[in-house]
Each structure stands twice: as C-alpha cells, then as structure tokens.
A = this chain, B = another copy of it.
Amino acid sequence: MPISTPSDPVPATDTWTTQPGLSPGTPVFVGERKLDQARIQILDYTRARLDEYNDVNSDDCRRLRASDSVTWVNVGGLHDVGLITEIASVFELHPLTLEDIVNSTQRPKVEEYDDYLFIALKMLRYNAERNAVEIEHISLILGQGFVLTFLEDGGDVFDAVRRRIRLKKGRIRGQGPDYLCYALADAVVDHYFLALEQFGDYIESLDEAILDSPQTSHIQEIHRLKRDAIRVRKAVWPLREEIGFLDKSDSPLIAPETGIYMRDLYDHIVQTIEMVEGYRDILASLHDTSLSTVSQRLNEVMKLLTMIATIFIPLTFIVGVYGMNFRHMPELEWSWGYFLIWGLMILIALGMVIQFKRRGWW
C-alpha cells in the first residue's frame, strides 16, 4: 500500500512521540496492540449492487468516495498510524480527529466538523473467564456518501450488520450512509446490553453466594466489581449527552427520517446507564450486607464461645476452693462432700444455661 506522503493538515510521522506539549492534532497510538496486522475492509453498495474490497490503495479509496454509492471503510487495528493517516488524508479528516481515532483512551464524544461527523464510542465485551468487562475503542465517521469505522481488533461487532447488507435484510440497502452509521452504532449499543446482562448475572450469583455463606474474599470481589462498574460507567455515561445532542442537531448529514432511529439509540443508551447505576447501587448495598453478615456471624460465634467460658468460670473457681490446703476445711471431711459439690456445680451450670436461654442469648 505505497502511497504519497500525507498532505498538509497531517503532520509528518517522525514527530510521533508521546511527550506532552506535542503539536495538537498529532496522532499517537495509545493502547495495546490487539491485531498483528492492521486490516482494511470496504463495502460499497447501492440498493442494486454490492462490492467488497479487502486490499485497497488510497486511489481506490478516492474513487469510491467520489462514487454515488454508500462506501463503508472498516479499519481493524489502530497501531498502524501510517495507514490511518493515509485514510485520513483521503477523506480529509481534521488532525484532531486523527488524534482521537488512534488514542484508545479518548472518552466517547460526538463532534460536528464542517463536512463530517465524528463519533467516538466504547465497545463493551464481557470476559466470562475473568468475570470482567473489557472495553475497546471504536470511532465512527459519517461523511457525504461514506462511513469510516476504526476498531482496535477485527470487529466482529459489525458482522451482523455486514450480513444484513449482504442479504439485503431489513431496510439498510435502500438507505443512505446516515442509516448505516446508525445501524453500526446500534450494533455497538446492543452489545452493551449483552455485556451488562452477563455482568448483572454474575453480580446476582455473587449476591446469592454471599447470602448463603459470606466470606472475606467476597468483599474483595465486590471491590473489583465496583471498579469495573466505575470503568463501564465512564465508557457509557458521556454518550447520553452526546447522542442527545445529535438527536437535536440539524446536521445536513442526517436525514430527518433517520432522526427517529437516533432517538431510539439515545433511549437505549439511557437504559444502559440506568443499568450500570442500578448495579452500582446494588453493589453498594451488597458490600454493606456482606460486611455486616460476615461480622455478625463471627460475633455470634464469639458470643457462644464466651458463654461456654462463662459457665465454666464459677465451676473452676469452686474446684479451686476445695483444692486449697487449709488445715481446717470442714466440707472436706464430709462423707458426701464430693458428691454435694458435683451437685452444686451441675445446678450452677444449669441455672446459667437457663438464664442465657431466657434472655435469648444462646
């Protein structure tokens, strides 16, 4: 894919370092490399035809961009900054957009530029082995006649959308790039529900385990889940405002009939946020409950043991008394002294047990 060096708005690659004070708009890949090799996949379609390309150069891109069809360029792998810079120059992206695409710590946002819309999203995926939610950075760009998507990995998130395009299912083939953009965002948000439901199920199972027999390790697990919930919240929360802004925006890139879908997307995001907030509330309550349950079971044990000790204390005193070596201890001489003492001790023990039971301590 040998193309000419990037044109003016994109800085030269040799300036790509990470120190602050860097010229704004300098793209620096931040994150861990999830694919060995960055991949580009293009779907170009109208209602009538569909072309797929897997190996393209920038001239192809330029040509497809110019065509009347809807062009969807999907880039997997954000570490190949050179490749992404090329694409950016073909589609005339602003340097700041370029910086946001490759920075996987970028928070979700929607930005209107003169001739395109930039949407940064997070993908949530539940890792059932680690019982943790994994977060990935996704960028969508909606322009005149094209949609660009940038993912950290190959992007099976979008497989279902791809299938719908190929099979002409639903209304997607007859619609413009705005609908495609919505469908892609919707696919991402649908995954949120999937991930959050699994997360919720795990909390549920933890809840049951704790009510059953709380353990110290549960406290630490709850702490871990709380941190996860904080991370997920940070990934989803900003979207509310941003997609709401999109809903109200009058960008010429979004047809009025797509607006209704945007509202639906907004609605889903709000529901996601409510789920996360609900989990946080439940985890907080669970922490308190598990803590108090653990500590109260412990206390109950201590109380029982202490009562046992308390019963024996006077008995041990009594046997001590008759272990004394005084010359004159009349009881010692009595024939039935020993047995009388046993009787006394049994009476005392019984009396204490009865007392404890009556007070509801035992």
List residues of A whose CB falls within 8 A of some B CB. 9, 11, 15, 19-26, 94, 96, 106-107, 109, 111, 113, 157-161, 163-164, 169-172, 182-183, 186-187, 190-191, 193-194, 211, 213, 216, 219-220, 222-223, 226-227, 230-231, 234, 238, 260-261, 263-264, 267, 270-271, 274, 278, 281-282, 285-289, 291-303, 305-310, 312-317, 319-329, 331-338, 341, 360-361
Contact = CB atoms under 8 A, between A and B. Distances in A.
Contacts of A314: 312
Given A227-B282, A289-B219, A303 B300 contact: no
Contacts of A20: 160, 187, 190-191, 193-194
B223 A172 contact: no
Contact of A332 (B187, B327, B341): B327
B169 A11 contact: yes
A100 B193 CA distance: 15
B23 A172 contact: yes
B310 A299 contact: no
Nearest to A338: B326
Given A159-B21, A313-B308, A226 B285 contact: yes
B305 A308 contact: no
B220 A25 contact: no
Contacts of A263: 111
Contacts of A96: 260-261, 264
A219 B286 CA distance: 11
B187 A270 contact: no
B170 A26 contact: yes
Nearest to A23: B170
A220 B293 contact: yes
B326 A341 contact: yes
Contacts of A338: 324, 326, 328-329
A203 to B, nearest CB: 10
Nearest to A167: B15
5 tightest Cβ-Cβ pairs between the two chains A and B: A21-B160, A23-B170, A20-B190, A319-B320, A322-B324
A349 to B, nearest CB: 10
14 contacts: A11-B170, A15-B170, A107-B270, A107-B274, A227-B285, A292-B294, A312-B316, A315-B317, A319-B324, A320-B320, A320-B323, A322-B325, A323-B323, A327-B333
Contact of A303 (B25, B302, B328): B302
Contacts of A183: 23-24
Contact of A313 (B234, B291, B309, B360): B309
Nearest to A281: B230
A170 B314 CA distance: 80
Contact of A261 (B24, B158, B227, B230): B24
Contacts of A286: 223
Contacts of A293: 216, 219-220
A119 to B, nearest CB: 13
